A and B are shown apart, each in its own frame.
Chain A
Amino acid sequence: MPSNMAEKILIRGVVIAILIFLIGPLVIVCGLSLSKANLIKFPPQELSLRWFADVWKLDGFVAAVVLSLKLAALTTIGTSVLGVMGSLALVRYRFVGRNILLGVFLSPLVLPAIVIGIALLQYFRTIDLLSTFSTLLIAHIAVTLPFMVRTMTASLEVMDENLFDAAKMMGADALQTFIYVTMPSVRSGFIAGALFTFILSFDNYTVSLFLTDPQTETLPIRMLKFTQVRVDPTVAAAATILIGLSLLILLLSIHLVGLRRLGGLSSSKA
């Protein structure tokens, strides 16, 4: 749209400024972790990696990492299974109330996380049958399920219906069709959904806040407590490690699914 040099430079400059706004805070956190002095000051005066060595000593940090990883892995499995089952039922079969049910599956997306968290707190207190970890797992699955359903139903809907008939003609039964035809066709959507679920669970704060107890703390909750107690480079180093982890997952996602698809853009440019 910009037609001359000045316009071009102007808008590109604006875009870069906004990008700095987006990325800057994360860069600053990483920069803080590299400062030699025991101060939160950016830019750091002298550089050092010493704080990274102390990260493991942060009280409860390692336990929280392990817990969150376990939780995220189990959530991904649970949400994947339930999400695929639900999506298959919603897309491949015709029955009364189909659209309403789809709305029900997607409803957690619309409701404030804070309300979901508090409601689950009350609920699990009333039932009082399950371990804290179990309640966390259930909550995470409940909150990530709509994303998986949304992604999977979209992928399933664009599948060529004749593929199922072709498989039927070839003698494939329901399970064979699922393994050899359905899943490969929705592979990208499924992987995107699974990766997204993992990240949502690993990073989840608001809903988890109400369900953790001192013995069972997820990483975001522990991290927050660190930042409230003392803001020092060790915490920044922990945050930097997590940022690095997120970037790794991002790279993995880009490799498996493609950058455009991650951004919700159609896979072929119109």
Chain B
Amino acid sequence: MDIALEGIGKRYGNDLALKPLDLQVPPGELLALLGPSGCGKTTLLRLIAGLIEPSQGKIEIRGRDVTHVPAHRRDVGLVFQNYALFPHMTVWQNVAFGLRMRGMPKADIRRIVDETLEVVQLGRLDGRLPTQLSGGQQQRVAVARALVLKPAVLLLDEPFAALDKALRDQMQIELRNLQRRLNITSIFVTHDQDEALTISDRIAVMNAGRIEQVDSARGVFETPKTEFVLGFIGQSNKFEGRVEAANAHGATVAIRDWRIKVVNASQGLSVGDKLTVAVRPGKMSLSREASAADQNAIEGTIIDTLYLGTSTQYYVETGGVRTEVHRQNTDSSSAEQNFAIGDRVWITWLPQSTLLFPR
């Protein structure tokens, strides 16, 4: 493991910013810390960087205990949210700063800085001041400045927040490529789930000082462990349910008048358990009749449709609850399958697509 956090917690007075958590990051991984404002992701990042001291717990970087080691001796580089480039220094001087502070001879500095600027493709601009650069260029300087000390870990605090949409997509890919090329373990903080899903190897979803789940993009989307992760990543339809029958292979859950089947898996359900039942809109289909026994089905009336080109979103009133169904507009959806407002339809999905959370 390049990074290992054990029992890390941080409190400010009575406020528990980070509840004791563990995290392990293998070498070369690009990990996203994802969560809403105030969830503690930036605190956690700064803690790993060494700008904040933990109230409890241990941090190891490449096997070395760095819990009480100051930031500049931890072998980490940090890219700040607004880049924090020294405004009175040129690009070259900004990148050279860390090397200068360590007393490296001038000739060596020159060589290394030039190399690093090449890596981020900023060679021509080394004489410019930060105010003369675009947002994307400033970000690259910040990355170069962090990389020049050849850290084991690269940390980035909402690196794309200050960029506009089009530039953001491009810079995300660039960062991904750079990280892969250098094979440098990296953690970046974001509140944008699309960003996290797009470029990271794994995502750590955080909420209120806790890591709710660490998993790949597929993992947090298909198998969210908590209702928070379910709600934060993608969309879902939620129902209140009660377990009516359960055995080793699966269970039957009652949602109002309907009975749906679920795959029990490792949940250990017993009769009478109250659950939140969730299904993602993309996993649901519409049909005009109740279908085969191997699919779950609930009935409702379409109250609204939203045509989005690639897909269509249907809003179905199902016994007092508004359910959303997303349907790809492929050519196989033949004319008679175009549903309209007022149609009575059956919403169907596979039992395996049902997500369950205790209430």
Contacts and interface: CB of A to CB of B under 8 A. Distances in A.
Q: A–B direct touch, CB within 8 Å, in complex?
A: yes
Interface in B274-294: none
Given A160-B84, A184-B88, A185-B88, A169 B101 contact: no
The interface size bin for chain A is 10 to 19
Interface residues of B, number: 26
A167 B331 CA distance: 58
Contacts of B87: 185
Interface stretch (A4-12, A32-40, A170-178): A170-178
Interface string A181-215: 10011010000000000000000000000000000
6 nearest A-B pairs in the assembled complex, by CB-CB distance: A171-B72, A162-B84, A170-B98, A166-B84, A184-B88, A171-B101
Interface stretch (B74-82, B184-192, B198-206, B210-218): B74-82
A170 B80 contact: no
Contacts of A123: none
Given A171-B101, A176-B101, A180-B97, A166 B80 contact: yes
B88 A187 contact: yes
A163 interface: yes
Contacts of B76: 169
B106 interface: no
A164 B89 CA distance: 14
Interface string B331-347: 00000000000000000
A168 B51 contact: yes
Interface string B45-69: 0000111000000000000000000
A54 interface: no
B261 interface: no
Interface string B131-167: 0000000000000011001000000000000000000
B332 to A, nearest CB: 54
A171 B103 CA distance: 10
10 contacts: A160-B82, A162-B81, A166-B80, A169-B51, A169-B76, A170-B98, A171-B72, A171-B101, A180-B101, A185-B88
B144 to A, nearest CB: 12
Nearest to B155: A169
B84 A165 contact: yes
Contact of A169 (B71, B85, B88, B102): B71
A64 to B, nearest CB: 40
Nearest to A173: B101
A169 B51 CA distance: 8
Contacts, number: 63
Interface string A118-160: 0000000000000000000000000000000000000000001
A176 B82 CA distance: 22
A168 B80 CA distance: 12
Given A165-B51, A166-B80, A171 B102 contact: yes
B78 A163 contact: no
A165 B78 CA distance: 9
A172 B70 CA distance: 11
A101 B85 CA distance: 32
A248 B72 CA distance: 46
Contacts of A170: 72, 97-98, 101, 145, 149
Nearest to A176: B101
B102 A163 contact: no
B71 A166 contact: no
B239 to A, nearest CB: 46
Contacts of B81: 162
A121 B77 CA distance: 58
A224 B71 CA distance: 60
B258 interface: no
A171 B78 CA distance: 12
Nearest to A183: B88
Contacts of B86: 163, 166-167, 180-181, 184-185
A85 B211 CA distance: 43
A84 B89 CA distance: 22
Contacts of B78: 165-166, 169
A28 B149 CA distance: 65
Contacts of B146: 169
